[in-house]
Amino acid sequence: MAEILYGVATSHVPAIGAAIDNGREETPYWKPLFEGYEGARKWMADADPDVLILAYNDHASAFDLDLIPTFAIGVAEEFPIADEGYGPRPIPPVPGHPDLAWHLAESLILDEFDMTIVNYLPVDHGLTVPLSILYGKPERWPARVIPLSVNVIQYPPPTGRRCFALGQAIRRAVESYPDGEDLKVAVLGTGGMSHQLQGERAGFINTPFDTAYLNRLADDAEALTEISHTELLRDAGSEGIELVMWLIMRGALSRQVREVHRHYHVPASNTAAGLIIFEGSEALVSM
């Protein structure tokens, strides 16, 4: 049986990936950020999930303006590393889990979430930087990954409420996975926190907003689903709207969760970097 035991939300800033790839984790600029990731990496090694269902957004890598799926699920055996304009990151390709991915695709569509199904899916920093944050530089990735791509670039992204409901549907789908294989599953929501890359307001950061968001995610997430897109654009910055993807993670976990790790640091390039890890109630039972 497969069980969703864990949830992780983290920023996916490309510069964090570049700092890891180029061995700059100990420099004065990056050290405070990476010190906060040490606990997350230790936790990840102990928890050792078999599969990550990873909600992220593609940034003009696999999809362009000709095709903009709101929700897409990767069902391939393996996902290549995208060339985002400066050569692919020097990291291993990402192994998929086609059995569970196809089960999710079928279950979600019959549960009225109209997923786009993708085989060839080069993955960019949105998916790979969270892996590097949690695993460092392994020769091969320790978990298999089901990419769940969410459009947050073309306005409007799916609403926070819809993302939360998708998380709940993912939970139902994983619970009904018929395969005999025992799978420990983690759901990841990535992107955010507050940041704005574009326009005269570039560099916008809203730490009070981010702090409140982190504080409410465990026990008051349904209130976070009520934040409108305009409020997110205004209060979290134009690219901070990525935070809707964190709600997919929260929706996929049990009602009660235990926060096991949190880190928040400004800046990672132009972004407020946040990370939070939850264990669901099943995690306590399974231990």
Partner 1 sequence: MARAHREYDDIPGTYVFDAEHHRKGYHLNMFGMSLNDPKNRAKFAEDEEAYLDQWELTPEQRQAVLDREWLEMLRLGGNIYYTFKIAAFDGLKMQNVGAAMSGVTEEEFTQMMIDGGRSPDG
The contact set with partner 1 (CB under 8 A) reads: 14-15, 59-61, 64-66, 82-87, 153-156, 194-209, 229-230, 233-235, 238-239, 266-267, 269-270, 272
CB of 269 to partner 1, least distance (A): 5
Beta carbons of 156 and 70 less than 8 angstroms apart: no
- CB nearer to partner 1: give 254 or 271: 271
195 catalytic residue (yes or no):
yes
Which of these is catalytic: 12, 97, 103, 195?
Answer: 195
Distance between CA atoms of residues 204 and 166, nearest Å: 29
Q: How far is CA 8 from CA 28, 134, 189, in A?
A: 26, 10, 6
Rank residues 188 and 272 by Cβ distance to partner 1 and give the closer one.
272
- Least distance to partner 1, CB of residue 33, Å: 12
Helix/strand/coil for 263: strand
Nearer to partner 1, 107 or 206 (CB): 206
225/269 with CB nearer partner 1: 269
Residue 51 C-beta: closest distance to partner 1, Å: 28
* Sequence letter at residue 41: R
CB 262 within 8 A of CB 275: yes
Length of the chain: 287
- The Cα 235–Cα 238 span in angstroms is 9
The answer to whether 145 and 131 have CB atoms below 8 angstroms apart is yes
Q: Which of 12, 97, 103, 125 is catalytic?
A: 125
Cross-strand pairs, 276: 9, 262
Is the Cβ of residue 23 or residue 85 nearer to partner 1 in the bound state?
85
Tell me whether residue 103 is one of the annotated catalytic residues.
no
Q: How far is the CB of 40 from partner 1 (least distance, A)?
A: 23
Compute the least distance from the CB of residue 61 to partner 1, in Å: 7
Q: What is the C-alpha separation between 183 and 31, in angstroms, rounded?
A: 34
Residue 50: CB atoms within 10 A of its CB come to: 16
Active site residues: 125, 195
